[in-house]
Amino acid sequence: MAVKSGIYKCEVCGNIVEVLHAGEGILVCCNQDMVLMKAKDEDPVLGEKHVPIIEGTKVKVGSVLHPMSEEHYIEWIEATDGLGHVSKVFLRPGKVPEVDFGFEVEYARAYCNLHGLWKS
């Protein structure tokens, strides 16, 4: 069974899917079950550059801002206010990994193209 708001990845082609409505089925891509990604919230080696940090209405990625090169960057930042309102902003290399969502953020997630899913 798929998990609502779960992020799943195909280990063959790299497709990533977010579940908006959970159903009984199993997500499949390239003839294999997709893998539910586990959001990390700390890492002694990578954490200072990957964990989303909430500052009121803003979310930045890393206490030391995450690099945003063509090879290594934050693809998106997502925030929720705790009332069910969710907003996601997609980023590009060269941009600062910081977003002002315009509402008080309770929880945030970010996705690094090399190191996966991170949560606040």
pLDDT along the chain (120 residues), means of 10: 94 96 93 96 78 97 93 97 94 97 97 96
Q: How high is the pLDDT of residue 1?
A: 83
Q: How high is the pLDDT of residue 46?
A: 65
**Do 58 and 107 share a structural domain?**
yes
**Do 114 and 61 share a structural domain?**
yes
Q: How high is the pLDDT of residue 48?
A: 81
Q: How high is the pLDDT of residue 47?
A: 62
Residue that the structure tokens 């579940």 belong to:
19
Per the structure, the count of domains in the chain is 2
2 inside domain = no
How wide is the angle at C-alpha 35 spanned by C-alphas 54 and 39, nearest 5°? 15
For 15, the domain range is: 7-36
**Do 56 and 115 share a structural domain?**
yes
Other C-beta atoms closer than 10 Å to the C-beta of 34 total 22
Q: What is the CATH number of the domain that holds 73?
A: 2.60.40.730
23 inside domain = yes
**Do 94 and 51 share a structural domain?**
yes
Name 6's Cβ contacts closer than 8 Å, sequence gap at least 6.
Answer: 18, 19, 22, 36, 37
